[in-house]
Amino acid sequence: MTTQTDYYELLGCSRDADDATIKSAFRKLAIQCHPDKHGGCKQQEAKFKAINEAYDVLKDPQKRAAYDRFGHAGPQGMGGGGQGFDGFADIFESMFGEFMGGGGRGGQTRRGADLRYDMEITLEDAFHGKQTDITIDVSGPCEPCGGTGASPGTMAKSCATCRGHGKVRAQQGFFVVERTCPSCHGAGQTIADPCRNCRGEGRVDKTVTLAVNVPPGVDEGTRIRLSGQGEAGARGAPPGDLYIFIHIRPHSLFEREGTTLFARAPISFTTAALGGEIEIPGPDGEVHRIPLHPGTQSGREVRHRGAGMPVLQGRGRGDLVVRIEVEIPTKLTCEQRELLEQFRALETGEECPVSTGFFDKLKKAVGG
């Protein structure tokens, strides 16, 4: 994000909102702001990314606690990007490492950075699972030098300034101040003859294709970790990880909450009165037949067990909940109108007890 907008304000939640409230608010906003609904509008796309960033922090207990305490710097530090907890730790170690008995982090080349990849899939993909390939630009170990940063046939040497510690100390009055070695920049080693291919970094930029297995039942915000597929560490240090964040494309028929699917189904007033059956095509590719009892009212929700989404890394499926909407005919033939007139003439008031009772109460209230 370019602006430091409060995450709670972005999702329209209070700071004491529970996880379910935050999740529900995110789902509604994600559907409303999805770029596909707005013809690729850049403003909506930016807002969509912003609410995803906010939800990514607030749904994680540790990141949320860090955000509540330190603001935007908190979760950034936890993710390894930017001035966060790692920055605070470096300052603390530099100032007090001598007295705490620690030698700091000198001589230890840090592992490569973790990377993030956002993948958008359909609801059907989320149901069945998906195996796909992704292509990313990432730094990988330099092949000519084997990741050491030194020209083939040569080796790095221990830094003469810090003697391999990566940090130097200076006495200032009663304090001993420790700082990163200016000669080796904290690596603890120097390279006399750097590799020409990577210029002594031990890593080069590459374009790689990775196979990703998306398991059945993934939901919005699900994270898939590919260990060791992040940025390569400098001079042979371990690589970071790649985190794939799943985003579910809005569906034309279904809305999802966990493993439960919700759908709206318009039916004719004759089917509502006489009963019948409706057919709902599910994301599993099957047609689910849902029986309706005579006298089904508009707004009623009918639950079809076991027709929802599969449980992630588990067994069973959720339910399909269909909300019934009775459609009143707007075009009638002469014969249909005549039949309805005959039906109205035969009405006694017992056919629709709710409406009859309402108007009776209304008449009494006005008369009173």
**pLDDT mean values, one per 10 residues, the chain (368 residues):** 72 88 87 73 82 88 81 61 38 40 45 92 96 93 86 85 83 75 80 86 90 95 93 85 95 94 95 94 93 94 95 93 94 94 88 70 68
142 marked as part of a ligand binding site: yes
Tokens of 1: 């994000």
198 marked as part of a ligand binding site: yes
334 marked as part of a ligand binding site: no
145 marked as part of a ligand binding site: yes
3-state helix, strand, coil in the chain (%, to 5): 30, 25, 45
pLDDT of residue 92: 43
pLDDT of residue 36: 67
Distance CA 184, CA 166 (A): 7
33 marked as part of a ligand binding site: no
| Best CA proximity match to 307, nearest among 323, 320, 316 | 320
pLDDT of residue 101: 36
pLDDT of residue 94: 40
pLDDT of residue 191: 84
Distance CA 93, CA 105 (A): 8
Q: 247: which strand partners?
A: 120
pTM given for the model: 0.59
Distance CA 283, CA 254 (A): 9
Distance CA 338, CA 68 (A): 68
Which amino acid is located at 101 in the chain? Answer: G
Strand order in the sheet with 242-248: 115-121, 242-248, 223-226
Secondary structure class of 325 (helix, strand, coil): strand
Q: Which domains does the chain have, with CATH numbers?
A: 1-83 (1.10.287.110), 114-156+191-250 (2.60.260.20), 255-330 (2.60.260.20)
